Copies of this chain bind each other. A is one copy, B any other.
């Protein structure tokens, strides 16, 4: 609940930060109960600046996979930081981490490490165009691939040229994809795909296997590269690239968010086919070679391989989905729950099934006031540090909110 200290901080922020805050962590579009600032994070919990605790169903918008301030992962970071972090060259950790990714992710033969999710998709764009010196890149309408001039979802400050040679198709629609490929003709560089449709404000869609397979076939036929943008979903669907269970291996995959449990690192993975092109592009960053986040990522990959974190997040996701379904039925709430259970998008919808922004905000605001951080229109995340008790607590709060919600809302 945004309290007095939070309000004071927001006033100060408004003076020295454009718009008071920027990007995906601005609360401008969130319910008024959502605090802007947090002062403590541990495991599955966050504390806001006024001292209220939340069970955090956003997991930092993805990075928190094993729990905030994970002792083993943070210790790996601190140990490396005390020896060498950023320097005039990389540390051996970069080799070890590339090897670990190659061993973990089926399609991957190499890795390039960077800092932002946007860095990975920008590198994929360069690599794909360098591969056969072609220009056309196919993107699903509405998909989020980052916030650089070529991909930011808000047009302010961009020019049409930033998106020259992009062709848009409808996610999961084979015909639409084929039409886009035909439009690209001999100039097809790549097809970009999210592992599932996880756009904001509209129902999530799991990938249609026929669509995923056709994307692979078309890239093979046209000698173009297939990218799966796993920045948000990576290691939350499988211990591999998220299309592995469909039997579809991309040429490139983008990773970030959870790969070091919140420490700043992202990466582009690729196969042998794409390696030469990737070696020709020039990409770099001041902190891309820093060792500490790589050490943390090595420890995170170890936990990914050796624990049942994935099965537990799926089980807890099912528990949440079933519990909310039951509450919705009892309380006559038009609740939409879509996407993988461990990355649920939960909205109140109108009779047409579209997000009712006001009602979704009221619902999420009630949850937040009750100490459960829910998002009204962005997919959420179940973290491995959560317990069944956390899910049950969220369901208790949801039931209370649903009850008052129904009382308040005209039938």
Give A residues with C-beta under 8 Å from B: 9, 12-13, 15-19, 21-25, 27, 35-41, 46, 49, 56, 58-64, 68-69, 74, 77-78, 81-92, 94-95, 98-99, 101-102, 109-112, 114-119, 122, 125-130, 135, 147-150, 152-154, 156-159, 161-162, 164-165, 231, 256-257, 262-264, 266, 270, 275-290, 293, 373
Chain B residues with Cβ below 8 Å from A12 are 95, 99
Seed contacts A9-B95, A18-B279, A116-B287; 4 additional CB < 8 Å A-B pairs: A60-B88, A117-B285, A156-B280, A156-B281
Complex Cα distance A383/B218, Å? 53
The answer, among B83, B280, B289, B290, for a CB contact under 8 Å with A39, is: B83
The answer on a CB contact under 8 Å between B88 and A81 is no
Shortest beta-carbon distance, A118 to chain B, in Å? 7
Chain B residues with Cβ below 8 Å from A18 are 110, 112, 270, 275-276, 278-279
Chain B residues with Cβ below 8 Å from A270 are 18
The answer on a CB contact under 8 Å between B56 and A281 is no
The answer on a CB contact under 8 Å between B156 and A256 is no
The answer on a CB contact under 8 Å between B110 and A147 is no
Complex Cα distance A87/B289, Å? 23
Chain B residues with Cβ below 8 Å from A40 are 83-84
Complex Cα distance A14/B14, Å? 48
Chain B residues with Cβ below 8 Å from A277 are 156-157
The answer on a CB contact under 8 Å between A16 and B86 is no
> When A95-B16, A116-B285, A122-B148 are in contact, do A39 and B84 touch as well, CB less than 8 Å?
yes
> When A38-B91, A92-B39, A111-B16 are in contact, do A86 and B262 touch as well, CB less than 8 Å?
yes
Shortest beta-carbon distance, A265 to chain B, in Å? 8
The answer, among B16, B68, B115, B276, for a CB contact under 8 Å with A264, is: B115
Q: Which residue of B lies closest to A124 (CB)?
A: B157
Complex Cα distance A270/B19, Å? 13
The answer, among B13, B35, B119, B288, for a CB contact under 8 Å with A94, is: B13
Shortest beta-carbon distance, A10 to chain B, in Å? 9
Complex Cα distance A154/B279, Å? 12
The answer on a CB contact under 8 Å between A153 and B282 is yes
**Residue of A74, A159, A285 most packed against chain B (CB within 10 A):** A285
